[in-house]
Amino acid sequence: MRDASLVAATAIASAIVVGMLLVILLDVVRSGASVISGTFLTAAPSGGMQAGGVGPAIFGTAALTILMTVAVVPVGVITAIWLSEYARPDSRLARAVRLAVANLAGVPSIVFGLFGLGFFVQTIGRGLDKAAYGGVATYGKPGLIWAALTLALLTMPVVIVATEEALRAVPRDLRDASLALGATKFQTTFQVVVPQAMGGILTSAILAVSRGAGEVAPILFTGAAYFLVELPTHLNDQFMNLGYHVYVLATQSPDVDKTRPQLYGTVLVLLVLTFLLNVVAVVIRIRTRKALASARA
């Protein structure tokens, strides 16, 4: 009897969640689909944001996400490998790193934005300018690279925690089998443990992408631009971003009602892009898994 009510409660809860998701999706698709066109996907906004498209924002978002992934995955994975394979469980440094990771995960994203401005743009960037560009503001201003690094910092805990979990799930017996053959710890880690955990490591990258692609607050002061016709071509260029564009359309437009179709169109594009990035990551993950277990067929 209790089982039945539990099942019913779970079913109702799931139905509510799925239902809300569907309502949001339907609403976005219904209001946004009509403006989607080749021009919308490629052109820059025009006519006081009431016409044109979101081309630069799509490009900027994709570039930002890719750069972020390139930055966060190696650093996060190496940190996780160190935590799980090399650090002694009682080591002070390991405990400090874990504490930092846990705290980092709880920091509001706007704080990351301010930190990115203060640290990357004003400290590292200006330092670079002084050292290499004779004080001319080259990197000491908001730009793609700083926004990507700020986002990388935001998504770092996700990568570290998920990767460490994947590594810990590798059975000790497998490590032993490698060590017993006279392989070193390093060989065991990188040739047996990491390949075995590859599915989980790629999942961590997926999670980072999902988390990072839609964030606006961390890039507000570190590189996102309100409006740009030119696409970014250098790491220190500013860029448009879909999430930020949604915010701009919703709050900064002279006539909110007239920009609404554009707004929904942009949201739809953002959803689809995030979804596609996820699909790519999932496909990579399935591929590696298949490559590992191809003989099962």
Chain residues binding other proteins by CB under 8 A are 171-184, 187, 191-192, 195-196, 198, 291-297
Contacts of 135 (CB under 8 A, 6+ apart): 129
Q: Tell me how far, at minimum, the Cβ of 189 lies from other proteins, in Å.
A: 12
Q: Tell me how far, at minimum, the Cβ of 177 lies from other proteins, in Å.
A: 4
Nearer to other proteins, 82 or 119 (CB): 82
Nearer to other proteins, 62 or 94 (CB): 94
Nearer to other proteins, 44 or 284 (CB): 284
Q: Tell me how far, at minimum, the Cβ of 165 lies from other proteins, in Å.
A: 17
Quote the CA–CA distance of 7 and 283 in Å, as a whole number.
33
Nearer to other proteins, 4 or 180 (CB): 180
Quote the CA–CA distance of 212 and 154 in Å, as a whole number.
8
Nearer to other proteins, 163 or 236 (CB): 163
How far CA 49 is from CA of 54, 68, 199, 217, 259, in Å, comes to: 10, 28, 42, 21, 7
Q: Tell me how far, at minimum, the Cβ of 8 lies from other proteins, in Å.
A: 40
Task: Tell me which residue of 46, 53, 37 sits closest to 262, measured CA to CA.
Answer: 53
DSSP characters over 190-258: IIIIHHHTHHHHHHHHHHHHHHHHT--HHHHTTTB-S--SSPP-STTS-B--HHHHHHHHHHT-S-HHH
Nearer to other proteins, 190 or 275 (CB): 190
Q: Which is it for strands 51-52 and 45-46: parallel, antiparallel or unpaired?
A: antiparallel
SS3 14: helix
What are phi and psi for residue 45, nearest 5 degrees?
Answer: -60, 150
Q: Encoding tokens for residue 237?
A: 């260029």
Q: Tell me how far, at minimum, the Cβ of 100 lies from other proteins, in Å.
A: 25
Q: Tell me how far, at minimum, the Cβ of 179 lies from other proteins, in Å.
A: 6
